[in-house]
A = this chain, B = another copy of it.
């Protein structure tokens, strides 16, 4: 049982003062001789700086709060991995809180992070509300919203409208005429509205809407409603939704794409494995995460940051829409 070793222990062993050790640890305004002695003392004692003590003093201690809808989803995992990659390089650590797709919990988390005094906050948001806007005015912790946009906020997101158009164009070119679009709740403006509107701009056939949540299961259960519209193509607002439909169609022995074509958004790896492979818009969530991290780092050193819509996605035309 090693006793927790503090900066004082190191100082004592090195025969210098605590501040000298502290200087060694931080800026490094220190003689080579002492630096060497302290270095040795640190390795000998196994000292690591106490995060909390340092933090309490400096109010800047390399801690980022991250709010994420769910931790066990592909897009969240990728985004977090991207954020993490950059943050780790810069020796930042992060505390992750899940909002469980609930706007109220998202707000609570932002509150808490502000009061706990993290250096900055990244919110992978489920939607911008009035309440969130006024919350952001109250607090001064640098904060970036990922995945949703609003002119009064720092945000970074994929251009969902453009992504919607891209898929719409493809299906238009395939000459589909009657589409069922499985959409998510419109409180998610990015997916529920922007993505969908982009699609409608480019696709000229009929479009019928059915509402689902984000889950494979929910889409599967609501799939029977689809058929009464006699569509020639079905679009899921996410790949999971599309694949829920997939399962249903296959069980009913409806051939994809011969009888009905299917397409989605996301580019989840499973879309490649399904049979037939799913046509989808493949988003680079990891890069989005990296860029979010870069942006928060900029904000942290006082540089200005420009909210932006990213084009990190591409159309993957696969067999589910083409013979």
Query: Which of B4, B70, B269, B275 sits near A117, CB closer than 8 Å?
Result: B4
Residue contact B81 to A138, C-beta cutoff 8 Å: no
The segment from A30-38, A43-51, A157-165, A304-312 that touches chain B is: A43-51
Q: Known interface pairs A71-B81, A72-B78, A247-B273. Does A52 touch B52 (Cβ–Cβ under 8 Å)?
A: yes
Per the 8 Å Cβ criterion, residues 1-20 of A in contact with B are: 1-2, 4-5
Residue contact B95 to A95, C-beta cutoff 8 Å: yes
Residue contact A115 to B77, C-beta cutoff 8 Å: no
Per the 8 Å Cβ criterion, residues 265-288 of A in contact with B are: 269-270, 272-275, 286
Residue contact B84 to A115, C-beta cutoff 8 Å: no
Per the 8 Å Cβ criterion, residues 72-123 of A in contact with B are: 72-74, 76-78, 80-81, 84, 88, 93-98, 111-112, 114-117
Residue contact B269 to A269, C-beta cutoff 8 Å: no
Q: Please give, as numbers and ranges, the residues of chain B lying within 8 Å of A243 by CB-CB distance.
A: 273
Interface size for A (C-beta < 8 A) is: 53
Within the assembled complex, what's the spacing in Å between the Cα atoms of A80 and B98? 11
Q: Please give, as numbers and ranges, the residues of chain B lying within 8 Å of A2 by CB-CB distance.
A: 138-140
Q: Please give, as numbers and ranges, the residues of chain B lying within 8 Å of A4 by CB-CB distance.
A: 115, 117
Q: Please give, as numbers and ranges, the residues of chain B lying within 8 Å of A139 by CB-CB distance.
A: 1-2
Residue contact A116 to B70, C-beta cutoff 8 Å: no
Q: Please give, as numbers and ranges, the residues of chain B lying within 8 Å of A93 by CB-CB distance.
A: 95, 97
Q: Please give, as numbers and ranges, the residues of chain B lying within 8 Å of A71 by CB-CB distance.
A: 77, 80-81, 84
A50, A116, A269, most chain B CB atoms within 10 A? A116
Within the assembled complex, what's the spacing in Å between the Cα atoms of A111 and B5? 12
- Whether, in the assembled complex, A301 has its beta carbon less than 8 Å from a beta carbon of chain B, the answer is no
Residue contact A115 to B47, C-beta cutoff 8 Å: yes
CB distance from A188 to the nearest CB of B (A): 20
- Whether, in the assembled complex, A199 has its beta carbon less than 8 Å from a beta carbon of chain B, the answer is no
- Whether, in the assembled complex, A216 has its beta carbon less than 8 Å from a beta carbon of chain B, the answer is yes
Query: Which of B77, B114, B247, B270 sits near A270, CB closer than 8 Å?
Result: B270
Of the A-B pairs whose beta carbons lie under 8 Å apart in the complex, a sample of 16, sorted by A's number, is A1-B138, A4-B115, A5-B115, A46-B111, A46-B138, A48-B114, A48-B115, A51-B117, A52-B55, A52-B56, A72-B77, A96-B96, A216-B269, A243-B273, A246-B273, A269-B270
User: Would you list the 10 A-B pairs with minimal beta carbon distance, nearest first?
Assistant: A275-B275, A48-B115, A270-B270, A72-B81, A72-B77, A51-B116, A52-B55, A2-B138, A273-B274, A1-B140
